[in-house]
Structures are given as structure tokens and as C-alpha cells.
Amino acid sequence: MATSTDEATLFTNQAAAAFALQKAGVIARRQLFGPAERRDALESLAAAIRQNEAALIAAMAADFGKPEAEIILTELIPVLQEIRHASRHLKRWMRLRRVLPTLASFGTTAYVRSEARGVCLIIAPWNYPFSLAIGPLVSALAAGNSAIIKPSEMTPATSAIIARMMKDAFHPELVTVIEGGVAASTALLALPFDHIFFTGSPAVGRIVMAAAAKTLASVTLELGGKSPTIVGPDADIRQAAAWIAFGKFANAGQTCIAPDHVFVHASVKDAFLAALRERIRRAYGDGAASPDLARIVNDLQARRLSGLLRDALAKGARVTLGGAVHDCHMAPTLIEAITPEMDIDHDEIFGPILPVIVYDDIDAVTHQINARTKPLALYVFDTSRARINAIIAATSSGSVGVNLTMAQFTHTGLPFGGVNTSGIGAAHGHAGFRAFSHERAVMINRYSPLPMIFPPYTPRVKRLIGLFKGILG
């Protein structure tokens, strides 16, 4: 058996070799990897996904029991949609963007040129092991980069199929997959990548950002946090229950933009809880054994969730639905009477436990939201446009969903990203293309008058500078 030192050396050598191969092709790609070649690469990726659909479904079912319909809906369709959107708009995104001259730049022309950053690293999480590895790859390829992908070791079956797919679809000079755990990530983060795209927890995001700082690599960090949901007094209760149940319990709650907890106005609490319980029963039957509910990814995460629930109950919370945990299967669970002393009030839940918190004063709710780190998503259910706008204006979050949950992630026209501890930068569509691009400024002199004020600074030149100051300042 290899020692940890042997393993670290192995990954260091593997990462260095993959990086060197891709780095050697940067200049050639900059000159030869044009719109047609990028579209071909995207089509190769789409073809690989279609050819391996059954294998991908089997892999994710093996890793954490995700239902086939949910895999198609949340893993495959979003990536195929990204590919289609990028292919359709690629030529426009790559077009030189002319910039009108200013008074100071009179006599010149200028434009912005979107260029590939170079060699990129994509570190993917376990909760959506395919879409959060390959979605960023779409943007990287569209922007003209090569990429090394590090899938999550916590979903080994999906990691293996991603590695095989990329090997079959691309030359390693363009796309390479390196499998492994912390040792693999550590080896990769030591290399001078041109851009790092990381999806995961804020704690690991800090490690990635610190590593990137050593080589001054740019980063996109897709993190998480406790995304709050507000059900207002004029909400459509059945609509709210349906969307919140879907957003919270899809993927067994293991979603970075899932509703973490829900604030419900006192006037609609009873009606909302009745509708929510009914919706959960319709969707998942008796809960943990439902074939439509994914399981918790591993024992470690299951124990963490059980610990959060036990801590809350010991400190006065009460379960009003679900609560059962067995062999990494956890039933959709509703709890009430949450207090600040409970761990669940502070930690991101990332599982199928939904705290329900009653409120009367919306200002108190927005104050509580603002007292915490900025969430990746905020959801509001109400029919009062004035109240919705007031909540949006009073808070900050990566995105906002009004009378829906999660769907903003799938809109290729919207940037997806967080704020501060919930993320840095944005992904998807044009935002993803820009994240993996360097916007290079080009300025061309035609008849600029600026040489008239070059040194030596004679009295005449000083008078001209004074004239320029009066005009420009």
C-alpha cells in the first residue's frame, strides 16, 4: 500500500505533467482555437454526454441514490442547455467590442478583445458531481481555454465516468481529469493556473483563494450559506408549498441554493404548514424510503445532520414532520421553535431539514438576514409587489427568486454567483464566458494631439496643459 508521501508525490507528478502539457499549447490555442474550433469542442462534449447518459445515471444512482428523473432534470439538462446557449452566442461574445473615444483619447480608436485566460483548474463538489464539473467546462472551452478538472472523491462512480468521458472526447492538451482527494487538490493548487473555478464550502473556498494568491491566479468561487425564504401574508400558499418542497428536498436538500430555513408570516402559518405537509407527502410518500428522494451522500454527512437535529431537539426545538434517519436515508423533516443557541440556527444545513420560523414584523426578518453573512440565494413568496421590492432593497444575496426556488440557476441569461462568503465572481452563459476570459484593452493612435504636451515643459506646453485641464477637468 502506498504511503501518504508516495501518494502526494504521485499526484504532484501527475498534476505537473498535465499542467505542463496544457501550458505548452497556450500560444497555439490563442491563435488557432477560434469560433469554429470552440463550437466543435462543445459539440464533442454534448455528444459525449448523450452517448454516456445511461452510464451517468447509473453512476449518480450508485453514488447517492439520486432518482433518474432528478439526474436528467438537475444534472444533464442544465449542461446541455449551457452548451446550446454558448454555441449559439459564441460568435457575438467573441466579437471585438468597440469603445467610443473620450475627450482625453481624441484621435484614437479603441476596442476590447476577449481572450482566453490560458490553463484553468475546475474543482467540483460532490452534491451535483456532474453538472458542477462540466458546466464550468462549457464556459472554459467557449472562452478558448484548456482545463484540468478535479471531480469530487466523495462521488467515485461519477468521478470515474467523467474521467473516461473526457479522455474519449478530448486530447489531454485541451481537457484532462485528475481524480483523487485532498492530496490531488493540494498538488493542483500549487501550480500557477491562469484561472481557478471552485465550487464548494466557504471554508474550503478560503483555502483555494489563499493558494491562488501565491501565484496571483484569478478565481471564481461558488460557495454557499444559509439561504433564507420568506412567505409573506399575501402569498399563494399552495404555490409556495410546492416550490419550497421542491427546492428544499430535491437532492435530499444537498443543494447550495436550497431554502435553508423559512420565515412564515403568523397569519398564514397554519395554512402554509398544512399545504407543505400535504405537498411533501404527495411528493415523497412516507419519506426516507421514497424512490424519488436521494440519499445523504455518506455516513459522515448523515451523522452531521443527525447531530444538528439532536442538538436542536435537546435545546427545545420540536419536529412536526419526519425526523427519521436510517442508513444515509433521511426523511423530509420540518422543525419549529428554533432559537439562536442551536447549531442549526447558524450552520448551513445542506440536508432535508427545514426550520420553520414564524414572524410578525418583516423588518425584524430582514434585520436577522442582514446580521448574517450574505446568502447565495434569497426567496420571497408574496403577491404584494411593494413588499417584495422592499425585501429585495433591504437585503443582499447572490440571487433572488420570487415565487419560485432554484430555477434562477438554470437561466443561462442570468449571472449565477454569490457575495463575499457565498461566492466571488459569476458563472453561466455570458457571465461564465467572461469569467474565463481576459478583457484586453486595445488602443490605436491615429492623430492624437497628446505629443503637443510631452516634455520639455516649456511655458507654451504648460499653457496647453492648463487648457487641457480646463477642458477635461
For residue 472, what pLDDT is reported? 83
Give the span between the Cα atoms of 76 and 131, in whole angstroms. 7
Set of cell numbers at residue 112: 476590447
Closest of 132, 355, 168 to residue 253, by C-alpha: 355
For residue 473, what pLDDT is reported? 77
452 band by pLDDT with thresholds 50, 70 and 90: very high
Q: What is the mean pLDDT of residues 345-372?
A: 97
**Residue 256 annotated among the catalytic residues of the structure:** yes
**Residue 222 annotated among the catalytic residues of the structure:** yes
DSSP 8-state class, residue 374: P
- For cell 481576459, the residue is 438
Give the span between the Cα atoms of 416 and 410, in whole angstroms. 9
Give the span between the Cα atoms of 466 and 443, in whole angstroms. 25
Give the span between the Cα atoms of 129 and 411, in whole angstroms. 19
* pLDDT tens-digit series, residues 438-448: 999 999 999 99
Q: How far is CA 362 from CA 232, 234, 374, 392, in A?
A: 9, 13, 18, 12
- Burial class for 371, CB neighbours closer than 10 Å (0-12, 13-18, 19+): exposed
Q: What is the mean pLDDT of residues 30-40?
A: 95
1 band by pLDDT with thresholds 50, 70 and 90: very low
Give the span between the Cα atoms of 9 and 414, in whole angstroms. 42
* pLDDT tens-digit series, residues 213-242: 999 999 999 999 999 999 999 999 999 999
Q: What is the mean pLDDT of residues 142-156?
A: 98
Angle, helices 131-142/35-51, rounded to nearest 10 degrees:
160
4-223+424-440 CATH, one of 3.30.428.10, 3.40.50.300, 3.40.50.1370, 3.40.605.10: 3.40.605.10
Closest of 121, 144, 130 to residue 29, by C-alpha: 144
- Selecting among 256, 328, 336, 348, the annotated active-site residue is 256
- Burial class for 401, CB neighbours closer than 10 Å (0-12, 13-18, 19+): buried
3 band by pLDDT with thresholds 50, 70 and 90: low
Q: What CATH number should be reported for the domain whose range is 228-417?
A: 3.40.309.10
- Selecting among 222, 328, 336, 348, the annotated active-site residue is 222
**Range name among 47-51, 159-163, 221-225, 233-237 with the lowest pLDDT average:** 221-225
* pLDDT tens-digit series, residues 240-249: 999 999 999 9
Q: What is the mean pLDDT of residues 353-373?
A: 97
Instruction: Strands of 90-217 (E only): list them.
Output: 97-99, 108-116, 119-123, 146-150, 175-177, 195-199
Q: What is the mean pLDDT of residues 22-44?
A: 96
* pLDDT tens-digit series, residues 379-424: 999 999 999 999 999 999 999 999 999 999 999 999 999 999 999 9
Report the chain's mean pLDDT, rounded to a whole number.
95
* pLDDT tens-digit series, residues 268-296: 999 999 999 999 999 998 777 799 999 99
Q: Per-domain residue ranges for the chain?
A: 4-223+424-440, 228-417
Q: How far is CA 466 from CA 457, 459, 471, in A?
A: 12, 10, 9
Give the span between the Cα atoms of 152 and 185, in whole angstroms. 10
Give the span between the Cα atoms of 107 and 129, in whole angstroms. 52
First-to-last CA distance in the chain?
71
Residues with Cβ < 8 Å from 177, sequence gap 6 or more? 148, 149, 150, 151, 159, 162, 163, 166, 167
Higher-pLDDT residue of 75 and 286 is 75
